[in-house]
Structure 1
Amino acid sequence: MNNNLIKAFETNWISLVVSLVIIGFLYFLAKKRVSFGYRVLIGLGIGLIVGFIFNTYKIDAKSVSTIGTIYVNLIKMMVIPLVVVLVINSIAGLSNLGQLRKIGLKTIGLFLATTGIAALIGLLVALVFNPGSGIPQGTLKDFKPKEIPTFSQVILDLVPSNPFNEMATGKVVPVLIFAIFVAVAIVHIGSKKPDAVKPVKDLIASLAQVLHQVIKYVIRLTPYGVYALIAAMAAKYGVDTLKPLIMLILATYTALLLHFIITFGGLVTFVAKVNPFKFFRKAYPTIAVAFTTRSSYATLPVNLEVLTKKLRVSPRIASFVAPLGATINMNGCGGVWPAVVAIFVAGVYHIPLSVSDYILIVLVSMISSVGVAGVPGPAAISTTVVLTALGLPLEGLGLTLAIDAIVDMGRTAVNATGTTVSTLIVANSEGEFDRASFDRDEEDELELNPA
């Protein structure tokens, strides 16, 4: 036992020293003014290689995981303050509440439409790959299907009973709703007595500027955080975990990539009329952070900076659409994944599905993606709802647990990118997208390179 502890201690020091050297190398690149996007990509690539080496030689990577967790926690600390301040600030700037209703309907409509398309793409790709073929039936002994919350429970969870308690426990949806109520009250009072709410609006606007500066400090750590998170992930799972379910992984990532290119690329090109290559290059920090943190909420601060500073969307639109998207826009978790898993489970248990079942998969995926807003583990809940609607055995979901973290990186990246694209579309339709600034060729690094 003591020998095992000593060995673990020794290997943990090895991973820590290696990581410190790599972090030093990434810092050196920053001092040499290597672009932020390249440094994130380099960190991701090195992390993947180092993680697989750690896994192969059984080197303890807890210290690496700690570095990644620190980075994620620093981003998460910004989520609740941002939701409160930026949502109030964006809505308080509206001239009337009719604008809020119009923007809200456009936003939710886009979220639902893109999630439906994602489910359809996931369905078609899964039918081609047939990922359940050759997989033996069986379940994990400790697998327990997620309990689907009742409709009344979902509604109750969305309504804030104690805003400060909701903030303390990190419940974003009730906090979002509370912020909307406060903002609407400011607009209502301001239409009659502008001077009465001016101090509040000035305070909120000032806080928004301070929070944006804090976000910039945290975002500068992204290349190091991305390295640590990917290295820890690769060290934990290794290559062997992927082998039995390689077709399911391939089907999922193929569907996610097709949705990324066809749906997002199509909307950016033909609806927003923006160069898609330039768009995705500018949106890369959001995609990278979502991929590595596997959290739409954790990606929110980065996404807001990308939207306003790189994509030139007005803060008013970005501050409303992005927090809402982090909550209910689940193209990957609620669209692609449930559809792929449904076909996978049907294949494993040799259950034939009809055309009406395929239609049901798409419709239920759309509805459940909004219905589980704010519920922990939305991908598992949405998938459980779809499997239940089709009458497929929930035990089949247990077979996917071994690779859930692997596919969750791609799912979250698609979720966050979908929010970014939807925000651009809404801003463009409202005349709040600065196309001239976006089209300029100068490098816009969000002041991420340290002085």
Structure 2
Amino acid sequence: MLFVSFVIMAAVIYGLIYLKKKKVPFSKRVVLALGIGVILGIVFNQLLSSTDGTVFSDWISIIGSVYVKLLQMIAIPLVMVCVLLAFTKIEMKTNVVKLGVTIVGTLITFAGIAGMVGIATGYFANIDGKTFTLSQTALSAATEIEQNYVAGGDHTLSLPQKIIAIFPSNPFYDMTGQRASATLGVVIFTLFLGIAYLKIKERKPQEAAFFKQWMDSIYEIIMSVVRLFLSFAPYAVFTIMVTTIVNNDLSAVWKLAQFFVACYVAMLIVFALQLVIIAFCGISPLRYLKRAFPVLSFAFITASSAGSMAMNIEMQEDLSIPKGISSLSASFATSMGMCGCAGLYPGIIIAIVAMTQGINPISPQFLFYAAFMIAMTSFGIAGTGGGGTVATIITLSALGLPVGLAGVFIAIEPLVDMGRTVVNLNGGVVASAVTCKVNGIDLKEAKASDLTLN
């Protein structure tokens, strides 16, 4: 059966390559790869033994894992180029402050709103946290995260210290991605480079023009690399989905089904709110969904906000959002205000834990204070592994609630993270749309061309 499984996988990949040669649209190939991956993942989960399943997933995951690493490899250079390019597209320095404040303010505010949605969903789902068995493994995992990210080190609960920690002391070290807030550190360093460009723009126009031309060239080269990587997306989506399902214990997921459903209900509510805001800013929700579907589906499969950033920027440009705004918002959205990971997910668990302590989580005093803490802890969370759990434990600690129960849900976090990434990515689009609205940019005149990748 193991050999047959490899043959089937090879046949599907060949079929996807054949469809590309036949000029089948990129979005259709991604959706088809997703559907086939789900079906084969379930089939192989049931037919392969645990030993064969491990061997199978180890080999098949090479394609998806390498693909994700390639996207991670280009993420930091892409962030730097996009932020710098945004400055070259802005005429007045005062616009930079206004754009930056609007984007960051929107991301952080919506993270707090998403947190309130999560708290309300967790409350009305009526999930009894006392019925969960708090194993030593789950407790140890939660305690270790609390020690690493709350007590000591570069990550403390103190807001002033947290603000200081996000500033890079060595930007080249942050470019290696070693710090939890490395991406945010790179963004901050690049912001200063952009401000320096604006300062010499009037005094030394020749040098500024050379820098702008150089950045335009670098951007085209980087985007060429990105498009090359993205052309392999259907094969990566297919293999990632198969290995994700094969590697998960379906019975364990079933035991946590109530929590799983609550998470996705909260995501749908937040997603609907995001569409309302996008519509208010002048973009038709139907038109947006048509353009965004390939990007959102890709984000769902890879569960990587940074990896989806390139497609996100191109999709926003297709909606006629100015490149200066889309580049800034997409870059900021990978490092702060993640309304999925740092907003609604912590909110749901906070509600469950609060009820075990006899606290009414939807009482105004608790609800708004928890939302504020969720918003404040959303800085730099995206740069950490298991960001949703980290954000949850930090916020639980800030609220004086026990953190152990957060460890119970680590088992299904990878499945929840897929939906959270979609909400995270959509939050960046909301920030762009709001920024356009604030700056009087009419998005109703957007072109009707589709997003295509060959």
TM-score (norm 1): 0.89
Distance 2:177 2:279 in 1: 40
1:50-449 equivalences in 2 (<5 Å): 50-57=40-47, 58=49, 59=53, 60-132=56-128, 135-141=131-137, 142-145=140-143, 146=145, 147-148=149-150, 149-150=155-156, 151=158, 154-169=162-177, 171-261=182-272, 263-270=273-280, 272-308=281-317, 310-347=318-355, 349=356, 351-353=358-360, 355=363, 356-370=365-379, 372=381, 374-432=383-441, 435-438=444-447, 440=448, 442=449, 444-446=450-452, 448-449=453-454
After superposing the two structures, state which structure 1 stretch, 358-367 or 429-438, moved more.
429-438
CA apart distance, 1:415: 0.4
Do the aligned partners of 2:337 and 2:375 also contact (CA within 8 Å) in 1?
A: no
Gaps of 5+ in 1: 1-9
In the alignment of these two chains, the number of paired residues is: 431
SS in 2 for 1:399: helix
SS in 2 for 1:124: helix
CA apart distance, 1:177: 1.3
Compared with structure 1, are the counterparts of its residues 426 and 15 closer, same or farther at alpha carbon in structure 2 (3 Å cutoff)? farther
SS in 2 for 1:138: coil
Kindly report the root-mean-square deviation, in angstroms, between the aligned alpha carbons of the 2 structures.
2.1
Question: Counterpart of 2:321 in structure 1: which amino acid?
Answer: V
Compared with structure 1, are the counterparts of its residues 297 and 157 closer, same or farther at alpha carbon in structure 2 (3 Å cutoff)? farther
SS in 1 for 2:24: coil
CA apart distance, 1:238: 4.0
Do the aligned partners of 2:184 and 2:380 also contact (CA within 8 Å) in 1?
A: no
Compared with structure 1, are the counterparts of its residues 351 and 14 closer, same or farther at alpha carbon in structure 2 (3 Å cutoff)? farther
Q: Name the residue aligned to 1:5.
A: none
CA apart distance, 1:210: 1.5
Question: Counterpart of 1:22 in structure 2: which amino acid?
Answer: V
CA apart distance, 1:400: 0.6
Distance 1:432 1:31 in 2: 39
CA apart distance, 1:14: 4.3
Distance 1:329 1:285 in 2: 23
Do the aligned partners of 1:173 and 1:373 also contact (CA within 8 Å) in 2?
A: no
SS in 2 for 1:88: helix
Once the two structures are superposed, residues 218-272 of structure 1 have per-residue CA deviations (whole angstroms, 9 ceiling, x without a partner) of 22221211111111110110421211110000000000011101x11111112x1
Distance 2:284 2:315 in 1: 16
Question: Counterpart of 2:403 in structure 1: which amino acid?
Answer: L
Compared with structure 1, are the counterparts of its residues 332 and 373 closer, same or farther at alpha carbon in structure 2 (3 Å cutoff)? closer
Question: Counterpart of 2:234 in structure 1: which amino acid?
Answer: P
Compared with structure 1, are the counterparts of its residues 66 and 15 closer, same or farther at alpha carbon in structure 2 (3 Å cutoff)? farther
TM-score (norm 2): 0.89
Distance 1:42 1:160 in 2: 43
